[in-house]
């Protein structure tokens, strides 16, 4: 199976100083008063925090689409990193360099989880890039004197005042700071980061750590004027040795509990941001940078957190690189049926896989499309290269091999690829011994100079002597099936996977044509522009401007999860996918599907359920429990060379003829499929001849009713009305107490029902957490 995708993160140095006093919401748009019907603006499928009047209409329109300005119907999200300050002698990229009129969102990278489980960017002080650094004499980098902090945060808010439609997000984590953080002196502290903040050593949910972090996140966005939080947790997967090797000592022992901890973290963040937004009169955004690798996603169950997110940014890059010997594109749009890594794993030859290649952007998009509207998904583009040297075989290097004799210290790898170095690796990291890590990593402006045979004057700032000359010719190649360009140096046998106008234009057209929300870029500083005076490429906005031009007249993005009409009436029947096997044991993927009848109507044997799952997996799902699970229609069949042609497989299953389902009762079946999918969605159930949606899909415009009556048992499908309290004394479990702590497996009684805690909890009232929350309804008592 392929190695993990990677999301670059580089250390930043901070100096200690006193904390700056708080500022509330600097630079954000004017507040919006609470509308009488905020529900009319809630995006399709987005979780509703119980008891919070969330001001969705401050961010979304009446169709549930994000408001980003008249010329921005699609997102262009750019990561802006804190370490390209120019203070190290290398070229700077500051807030004044951002093409503000071409982007919709800016993600500041990175904040981290500190040793006390709080969101932090380090101690304030003159050397802190985020809050203390200044750039005297740099045009456009003058500080806004009205703000009580300096640094990047001051400049971001200064420019947001000039561009009020642009939103900023604080991104937390990244490759280097998921399981630790860089202290003020530049040392990396292996604190456990997300792994220990969200999940205890025994695999249980660390709710206390999560609450501390979420509270600090609310304080942080209020203090520094951010519009929300972007979580870059790499990675909450059960696949062993996934993520940064420096984090394995924390992550591997917790693998069995990472998915639950991740879900609890995102639910808590959603609810605390919603309650803060209700108080502040504005909706705070929550997003994640999500992996695109089928290997990582296989260990993330069904990615149950999507309903808590305003949108997901897919890290659809780092799909091939020097962590192994297989030479291929960094971020191809499509599969071509020839991926050497997948071929070596017999993916194309396996009937169970259906010939579907899963190391490409289109596959990753369809994975998430199975449970989210197209408009709540953004595809990732890299403004940097990946590459190998000493490449053998392939076509101009593509699908060749480049094995290394040794791996970088600290990589955790015993067998890796022969990454490009030197002038072909300008943006390199260093290994544990301080040596250059071979990766072929370069900003695209440097790659464009290599392509044109130009040695830019900046190379001396990266340690190369004046007069450096290039060896060989870097010929640009392009594969139209993959939608992937690369540079091939036949003399050096160097392969560098790139992006340029042709590939970005094709990806932008793909976004427009499929109703996708937009694009996310790692990172803005890698974009290029031509400096005619110097005769070289430098940091610019060519690719970002190209996307803006493609998007500015596009139709509105897709705002519904389903591409077909679903019933307007929904019933409260819960569905949960559970009991996943861990890691490499999770093949084929065989979770239990638990159906719980939360209505007051008995479901007779033979009751039919239908649902959709993504075409990212072949249409061969089945069950082993007598429910007759079968795929009844498919939007795509066959391999995915050139892209998946549709979004969903439609599945039917029925309660066995002898199996009725009483009010409060649950039934389980064993489900079986072969490639990972996000949570199956678009459920329907036919009861006594009437077809209903399920409340848990959180669809816009649905009304929750009692089957057959048309009456609504509850105005909020995340908070169903319990059945009437029975005769006192009928419930045998102890009564729920808001002040008590409950471990996973604990049972309580509350409002006439018995409840079972799925993980540790305190203060969460049974009946208010929804079918995916901590309390499982065991039925009336």
**Per the domain annotation, does 257 fall within a domain?**
yes
The enclosing domain of 466 has a CATH number of 3.10.50.10
Residues 6+ apart with CB under 8 A from 558: 373, 374, 375, 514, 515, 516
**443, 450 contact by CB (below 8 A):** no
**Domain match, 673 and 749 both:** no
0.75 surpassed by pTM:
yes
**E strands along 281-426, which residues?**
285-291, 311-315, 377-382, 386-388
Pairing relation of β-strands 181-182 and 105-113?
unpaired
Tally Cβ neighbours within 10 Å of residue 704. 24
For residue 761, the domain's CATH number is 2.10.10.20
**378 and 392 together in one domain:** no
Establish if 341 belongs to a structural domain. no
Q: At residue 714, does pLDDT exceed 70?
A: no
169-173, 633-637, 733-737: segment of lowest average pLDDT: 733-737
Is 515 found in the same domain as 472? no
In order of 328, 333, 388, 641, 742, the CA distances from 395 in angstroms are: 11, 19, 14, 18, 60
Residues 697 and 586 in one domain: yes
In this structure, the answer to whether residues 443 and 489 fall within a common structural domain is yes
Q: What is the mean pLDDT of residues 480-507?
A: 98
The pLDDT tens digits for 595-604 are 999 999 999 9
Q: What is the pLDDT of residues 626-671, one digit of tens each?
A: 999 999 999 999 999 999 999 999 999 999 999 999 999 999 999 9
463 and 506 within one domain: no
Domain boundary among 721, 739, 765: 721
**Inside any domain, residue 639:** yes
Task: Supply the CATH number for residue 653's domain.
Answer: 2.60.40
Residue range of the domain that includes 284: 38-319+360-383+500-551
- CA 75/CA 378 separation, integer angstroms: 8
**Listed residues 721, 753, 769: the one ending a domain:** 721
HEC assignment per residue over 344-360: HCCCCCCCCCCCCCCCC
Do both 469 and 615 map to the same domain? no
Structural domain tally of the chain?
4
Residues 224 and 268 both lie in one domain: yes
Q: Is residue 4 part of a domain?
A: no
Examine the domain organization and report whether 219 and 281 are in the same domain: yes
- Residues 510-533 have pLDDT tens digits of 999 999 999 999 999 999 999 999
Residue-wise pLDDT tens digits, 56-100? 999 999 999 999 999 999 999 999 999 999 999 999 999 999 999
Residue 355 lies inside a defined structural domain of this protein? no
Which phi and psi angles does 741 have, rounded to 5°? -100, 140
Same domain, 479 and 508: no
Distances (CA, A) of 727 to 478, 550, 661, 754: 73, 65, 23, 14
Q: Are residues 579 and 712 in the same domain?
A: yes
Q: Are residues 424 and 451 in the same domain?
A: yes
């Amino acid at each position: 199976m392929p190695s993990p995708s990677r999301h670059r993160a580089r250390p930043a140095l901070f100096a200690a100083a006193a904390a700056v006093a708080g500022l509330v919401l600097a630079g954000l748009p004017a507040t919006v008063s609470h509308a009488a019907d905020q529900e009319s603006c809630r995006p399709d499928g987005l979780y509703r925090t119980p008891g919070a009047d969330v001001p969705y209409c401050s961010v979304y329109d009446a169709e549930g689409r994000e408001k980003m300005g008249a010329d921005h119907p699609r997102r262009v999200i750019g990561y802006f990193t804190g370490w390209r300050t120019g203070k190290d002698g290398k070229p700077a990229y500051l807030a004044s360099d951002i093409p503000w009129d071409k982007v919709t969102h800016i993600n500041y990278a990175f904040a981290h989880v500190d040793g006390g489980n709080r969101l932090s960017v380090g101690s304030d002080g003159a050397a802190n890039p985020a809050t203390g650094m200044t750039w005297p004499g740099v045009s456009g980098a003058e500080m806004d004197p009205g703000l009580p902090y300096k640094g990047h945060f001051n400049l971001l808010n200064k420019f947001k005042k000039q561009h009020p439609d642009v939103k900023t997000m604080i991104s937390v984590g990244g490759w280097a700071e998921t399981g630790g953080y860089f202290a003020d002196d530049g040392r990396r502290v292996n604190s456990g980061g997300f792994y220990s903040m969200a999940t205890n050593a025994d695999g249980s949910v660390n709710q206390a750590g999560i609450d501390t972090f979420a509270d600090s996140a609310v304080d942080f966005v209020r203090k520094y004027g951010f519009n929300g939080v972007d979580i870059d947790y790499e990675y909450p997967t059960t696949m062993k040795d996934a993520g940064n090797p420096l984090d394995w000592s924390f992550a591997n022992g917790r693998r069995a509990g990472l998915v639950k901890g991740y879900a609890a973290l995102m639910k808590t963040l959603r609810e605390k941001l919603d309650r803060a937004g209700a108080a502040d009169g504005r909706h705070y955004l929550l997003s994640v940078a999500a992996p695109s690798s089928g290997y990582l996603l296989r260990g993330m169950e069904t990615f149950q957190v999507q309903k808590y997110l305003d949108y997901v940014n897919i890290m659809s890059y780092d799909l091939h690189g020097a962590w192994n010997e297989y030479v291929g594109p960094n971020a191809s749009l499509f599969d071509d049926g020839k991926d050497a890594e997948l071929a070596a794993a017999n993916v194309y030859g396996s009937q169970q896989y259906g010939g579907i290649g899963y190391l490409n952007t289109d596959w990753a998009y369809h994975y998430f499309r199975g449970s989210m509207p197209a408009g709540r998904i953004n595809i990732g583009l890299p403004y940097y290269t990946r590459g190998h040297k000493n490449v053998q075989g392939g076509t101009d290097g593509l699908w060749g091999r480049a094995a290394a004799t040794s791996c970088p210290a600290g990589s955790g790898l015993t067998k890796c690829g022969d990454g490009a170095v030197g002038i072909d690796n300008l943006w390199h990291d260093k290994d544990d011994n301080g040596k250059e890590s071979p990766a072929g990593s370069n900003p695209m402006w440097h790659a464009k100079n290599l392509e044109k045979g130009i040695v830019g004057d900046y190379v001396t700032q990266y340690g190369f002597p004046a007069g450096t000359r290039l060896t060989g010719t870097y010929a640009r190649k392009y594969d139209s099936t993959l939608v992937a360009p690369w540079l091939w140096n036949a003399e050096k046998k160097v392969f560098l996977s790139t992006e340029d106008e042709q590939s970005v234009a094709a990806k932008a057209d793909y976004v427009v044509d499929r109703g996708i929300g937009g694009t996310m870029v790692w990172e803005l500083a890698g974009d290029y522009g031509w400096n005619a005076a110097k005769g070289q490429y430098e940091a610019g906005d060519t690719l970002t401007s190209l996307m803006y031009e493609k998007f500015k007249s596009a139709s509105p993005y897709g705002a519904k999860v389903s591409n077909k009409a679903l019933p307007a009436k929904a019933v409260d029947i819960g569905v949960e996918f559970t009991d996943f096997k861990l890691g490499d044991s999770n093949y084929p993927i065989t979770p239990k599907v638990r159906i719980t009848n939360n209505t007051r109507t008995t479901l007779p044997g033979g009751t039919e359920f239908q649902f959709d799952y993504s075409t990212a997996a072949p249409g061969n799902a089945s069950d082993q429990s007598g429910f007759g699970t079968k795929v009844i229609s498919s939007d795509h069949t066959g391999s995915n060379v050139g892209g998946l042609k549709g979004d969903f497989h439609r599945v039917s299953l029925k309660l066995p003829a002898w199996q009725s389902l009483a009010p409060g009762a649950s039934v389980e079946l064993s489900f079986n499929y072969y490639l990972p999918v996000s949570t199956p969605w678009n459920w329907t159930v036919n009861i006594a001849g009437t077809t209903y949606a399920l409340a848990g899909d959180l669809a816009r415009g649905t009304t929750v009713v009692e089957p057959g009556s048309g009456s609504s048992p509850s105005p909020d499908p995340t908070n169903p009305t319990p059945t009437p309290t029975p005769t006192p004394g009928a419930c045998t479990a102890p009564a729920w107490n808001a002040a008590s702590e409950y471990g996973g497996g604990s049972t309580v009684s509350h409002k006439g029902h018995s409840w079972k805690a799925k993980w540790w909890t305190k203060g969460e009232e049974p009946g208010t957490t929804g079918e995916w929350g901590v309390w499982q309804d065991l039925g009336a008592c």
